Amino acid sequence: MPEGPGELGLKLVARMESLTWERHGEMALANARRNRGAIARGRSLAELRGAALGEGDSAIVVAAGPSVRRRDPIRAIRDSGFRGALVVTESALAYCLRNGVVPHLAVSLDPHATRIVRWFGDPRLTAESISADDYFGRQDMDEAFANELKANREILSLLGRHGRDIRIALASSASEAVVERVLEAGMGVYWWNPMLDDPDAPGSVTRELQRMNGLPCVNAGGNVGTACWMMAGEVLGKAHVAVTGMDFSYYDGTPYRNTQYYNEAVALVGEERLDSVYVRLFNPHLGAWFYTDPAYYWYRQAFLELAVDSAVRTYNCTEGGILFGTGVEVVPLKEFLARRAPGGHL
């Protein structure tokens, strides 16, 4: 019997941990083994524990969800004079730099061999490689990528000017291309291991990874946005952490083709059954509908579980998406920034 809207997607959420390992686990491990020789060219993430990045006890995370195009959070952050820590996903790094903001810390996690380096500028990018992968051109993301070769040249230039002023929490799972590019740009690298499984389980891959390279392990919730939140709260020790661009979803009306995992969804069920894969949710704080795929739904669940267990006070200032629930206070970004102004109170 055919599945109803979102029905198959919710079934896949329950299997997402094993599916993620099948897609990325071996790649992450292979990258970590290869990166052992590069660790000496950086430091351990442990050296950032409690580091005085930014003033006071607050931080803002900037991720690169579709709300960024609509809300432009970095402009409000810049114009407010916010002086706390700014922690950004690698996918939001160029967006910040283009707007004259140099973050205190960037974070990178994904092990993909060719895509992630694009966020840092890929010196080897060609028109042929762009035509072979529609990942960037297809999605509802940074408009600067409309002309991918031009955007790449701009990012290479931005990192050439600012790379030495930026620290990066770089996962041991990072691709060879990302590691080479980050080191070439002169970024200050702080290495860490992503938790690939339960480190207390018999035969844990994560525990073996830690034995291999001696780096601290961080539960990143499977995605770089959550990793940024962990870095801000659990590593830098900020008590108040706001997140922006953390949609974990797409705006209602966005064509399926413009979603991150569209090609994988079509390969799984075909174009005619995509409604069964994507899950719609109503955000009561915004009075609006959004839809998501199994991976992002799983990331949302992981974030909420971590937020409940954390002593960090978390504010979702995305003003879009599906990140709401116990442990997360949903507030407009301007309200959070006003609270951090002199005399403001959280």
User: Tens-of-pLDDT digits for all 346 residues of the chain?
Assistant: 456 788 888 888 887 776 666 666 788 889 999 999 999 999 999 999 989 999 999 999 999 999 999 999 999 999 999 999 999 999 999 999 999 999 999 999 999 999 999 999 999 999 999 998 888 888 766 667 778 999 999 999 999 999 999 999 999 999 999 999 999 999 999 999 999 888 888 888 888 889 999 999 999 999 999 999 999 999 999 999 999 999 999 999 999 999 998 998 999 899 999 999 999 999 999 999 999 999 999 999 999 999 999 999 999 999 999 999 999 999 999 999 998 755 444 5
pTM: 0.94
Distance CA 318, CA 337 (A): 13
Identify the pLDDT of residue 216.
Answer: 96
Residue 259 has a CB neighbour count (10 Å cut-off) of 24
Residue 21 has a CB neighbour count (10 Å cut-off) of 14
Round the CA-based radius of gyration of the chain to a whole number and report it.
Answer: 19
Identify the pLDDT of residue 341.
Answer: 58
Distance CA 305, CA 328 (A): 10
Identify the pLDDT of residue 82.
Answer: 94
Strands 288-292 and 250-251: antiparallel
